[in-house]
Chains A and B, each alone.
Chain A
Amino acid sequence: DAKTTQPPSMDCAEGRAANLPCNHSTISGNEYVYWYRQIHSQGPQYIIHGLKNNETNEMASLIITEDRKSSTLILPHATLRDTAVYYCIVGPQGGSEKLVFGKGTKLTVNP
């Protein structure tokens, strides 16, 4: 079973920031938080991952709470192409372990 909880759906206006929450209250000390997204009929796309510090890359920012029990993925200026299902997954670093996908959050960016 997935170790994360996400809202099933969210809406966001184009050009605004999209903040996607994720709860992972049972995360272990050596587990990372990974975010992927899946646009319809495509394979998942890696977005970002982190351990306890906030992370930022060209796609998004990841904010992890101090107790590491929850995190937020931020898309700073959402576009229509960001409409997708976003998956928050916890797992060990390295990518050698299987990723357990939950149901994710369906983000719809509206014009």
Chain B
Amino acid sequence: GAVVSQHPSWVICKSGTSVKIECRSLDFQATTMFWYRQFPKQSLMLMATSNEGSKATYEQGVEKDKFLINHASLTLSTLTVTSAHPEDSSFYICSAKNTRKETQYFGPGTRLLVL
């Protein structure tokens, strides 16, 4: 299989607080993971590429100090939304590269609502 999990599946937080989202590859090792964001009625937009043991690469327009990414092991990457604001409310989805199957597999997503 190629299972990717995310935790939590949904979170509600107050404006100004930080939220951490975990992405795990359950049955394979992932040297590369990706973080996407999806607003209602829109397609997925890549935020950053996370490589195990090195700094993440952020897409243009994504603030690296606001969206902290850590990829400390071959099965876990975390995205921390710091000082969240209502405009950060979105559906956050991670994917992991499965080297053996030569493609990416996606997690179920985390819905964030900032009040």
Task: Give me the interface of A with B, judged by CB distance under 8 Å.
Answer: 34, 36, 38, 41-46, 49, 87, 93-96, 98-104
Contacts and interface: CB of A to CB of B under 8 A. Distances in A.
B107 A43 contact: yes
B75 to A, nearest CB: 16
Interface in B36-89: 36, 43-46, 49, 59
Interface string B75-115: 00000000000000001010101110111111111010000
Contacts of A93: 102
B34 A46 contact: no
B46 A94 contact: no
Report whether over half of chain B's contact residues are helix, strand or loop; otherwise say mixed.
strand
Nearest to A104: B43
Given A43-B93, A44-B93, A104-B43, A98 B106 contact: no
Size category of the B interface is 20 to 34
Contact of B43 (A41, A49, A98, A103): A103
Nearest to B42: A103
A99 B47 CA distance: 11
B106 A94 contact: no
Given A41-B109, A46-B103, A49-B103, A98 B46 contact: yes
A98 B49 CA distance: 8
A43 B109 contact: yes
B77 to A, nearest CB: 14
Contacts of B13: none
A99 B4 CA distance: 17
Contacts of B107: 43
A96 B108 contact: no
B19 interface: no
A96 B44 contact: no
